[in-house]
Amino acid sequence: MILAVAGGKGGIGKTLVATSLTLANSPLQFLDCDVEEPNGHFFLRPRIRKTEAVSIPVPRFRKWKGEVCPAAADFCRYGALAAVGEDMLVFPELCVACGGCFLLCPAGTLEPVDYQVGVVKKAVARSGIEYIGGELKVGSQRTTEVIRAVKDSLDPGRETVIDCPPGSGRPVLEAIRGSDFCLLVTEPTPFGLHDLRGNKKLLDILRVPGGVVINRSGTGYDGIQRWCREENLPVLAEIPFDRKLAAAAARGRTLTDYNPDWVPRLRELRETIKTKL
Amino acid sequence: MKVVVSSTGPELSSTTDPRFGRCSYFVVVETETMEAKAHSNTSRTAMGGAGIQAGQFVASLGAEAVITGNVGPNAARVLSAAGVKVFTGAAGTVEEAVKNFQAGQLNQTSSATVSAHAGMGGGR
């Protein structure tokens, strides 16, 4: 089973839920796909044994092979390639690796070269967790390429938990795609409901079944439960608001570290999810 | 000589635009006759690489120099490769900027005077 954990905004508790669920049911495989701001390692404390580069093919102009090709530069919507006088300038940080320039140039004048956009780190973390985490290079915008590289590294024979990036945009789509189930973490506020709606739409498009975890519950707002009933979206767990838990999480402690009662509850949550596949 | 001024409007009386890649217009001025021709800057709303696209466009106009407020690193690289001189610190109208340029009051630069993306959000 591949279980994705997503949520509308940063700080809603995605990583807390994903790492706690992984620990309680270990040994599982954990994928940190929040590559713009990965933080699963704060909770799981992996010992990195392998770091692999993630690269995209960007063009390099081979002057000695042929003429400058203005058509290719003109084609590039991102301005990553410029035809100036006798030369073609490449701005690899702007390249999205669409490959269009290679098709428009006479054979051989542009050659693809690797340009690093991030890394994938592999490790064994506590409780025998197989940890695979992506990190986007600072300044790069090739988020989905790094997420894809993380997902390509997973061992399909092992049960997996994916910590997704926040929001309902393209990187989240890439992280959830191919999962068997997705837990949506939210909070009992109108903001939480707004983001949850977006996440639910994304799951419908991807045809991935979902369930909701309400974090910081017990604050009096029942809009999430009402909407979930209308949408037939099961609320599978609630984490009561607790300032001490928030402080513990900020120090890298999971739900199971904070209170061992969470271990049987999170094992049960996994069993419940399995019945919904 | 033929110079290109980054401008907020198409006239000699228009105010110069401190941004290069994301300016509204490029006004081509023949300095001997003060004859002007404006081109709207299609790279202005580019997601990224505005300076690079604008630099190629300006180079294709056959101008010897660019007069602007500031220039970013990518545009500077394109203009320098194209052999177009860059003069920064332009202010006032297009006409005033050209006069200041002729009087030698603008700074010639071969490198960026602002960081990448400085022209996003209005350049303020």
What CATH number is associated with residue B114?
Answer: 3.30.420.130
The residue range of the domain holding B63 is 2-123
| B47-106 residues touching A, CB cutoff 8 A | 47-53, 55-56, 59, 74, 77-78, 81-83
Q: Which residues of B touch A91 (CB under 8 A)?
A: 49, 52, 74
Percent of chain B with pLDDT over 70: 97
**Looking at the predicted structure, is the pLDDT value of residue A93 above 90?**
yes
Residue A238 and residue A212 share a domain: yes
Nearest to A79 among B49, B81, B82 (CB): B49
- The full 3-state SS of A1-54, as one line of letters, equals CEEEEEECCCCCCHHHHHHHHHHHCCCCEEEECCCCCCCHHHHHCCEEEEEEEE
Residue A36 and residue A158 share a domain: yes
Q: Report residue A83 as tokens.
A: 């035809």
Give residue A52's pLDDT band: very low, low, confident or very high (50, 70, 90): very high
Residue A270 and residue A161 share a domain: yes
Residue A50 and residue A70 share a domain: no
Residue A69 lies in a domain: yes
Inspect the interface and report whether the beta carbons of B81 and A85 lie closer than 8 Å. yes
**Looking at the predicted structure, is the pLDDT value of residue B7 above 70?**
yes
How far apart are alpha carbons A198 and A193 in whole angstroms?
9
**Model confidence over A203-227: pLDDT tens digits?**
999 999 999 999 999 988 999 999 9
Residue A200 lies in a domain: yes
Q: What pLDDT sits at residue A63?
A: 85
CA distance B13 to chain A (A): 31
Percent of chain A with pLDDT over 90: 90
Inspect the interface and report whether the beta carbons of B50 and A80 lie closer than 8 Å. no
Q: Which residues of A touch B50 (CB under 8 A)?
A: 79
Residue A254 and residue A156 share a domain: yes
Residue A237 and residue A141 share a domain: yes
Residue A145 lies in a domain: yes
How far apart are alpha carbons A79 and B107 in whole angstroms?
27
pLDDT (average), residues B97-124 = 83
Inspect the interface and report whether the beta carbons of B81 and A89 lie closer than 8 Å. yes
Residue type, A15: T
Residue A209 and residue A88 share a domain: no
What CATH number did the domain enclosing A225 receive? 3.40.50.300
Residue type, A90: V
Residue A127 lies in a domain: no
The number of domains in chain A is: 2
Q: What pLDDT sits at residue B121?
A: 65
Residue A259 and residue A142 share a domain: yes
Instruction: List Cβ neighbours of A96 (8 Å cut-off, separation of 6 or more).
Output: A56, A78, A80, A142
Nearest CA in chain A to B47: A78
Q: What pLDDT sits at residue B119?
A: 77
What CATH number did the domain enclosing A101 receive? 3.30.70.20
Residue A256 and residue A158 share a domain: yes
Residue A210 lies in a domain: yes
The residue range of the domain holding A88 is 63-108
Residue A129 lies in a domain: no
Residue A234 and residue A265 share a domain: yes
Q: Which of A78, A91, A140, A170 to mutate to test the interface with B (most CBs of B within 10 A)?
A: A91
Residue A180 and residue A100 share a domain: no
Residue A71 and residue A46 share a domain: no
Nearest to A78 among B49, B59, B77 (CB): B49
Residue A126 lies in a domain: no
The number of domains in chain B is: 1
* Window from A15-29, A72-86, A237-251, B85-99 with minimum mean pLDDT: A72-86
Report the SS3 class of residue A212: strand
**Model confidence over B28-80: pLDDT tens digits?**
999 999 999 999 999 998 878 899 999 999 999 999 999 999 999 999 999 99
Residue A263 lies in a domain: yes
Nearest to B81 among A76, A77, A84 (CB): A84
Peptide bond into A240 cis (omega under 30): no
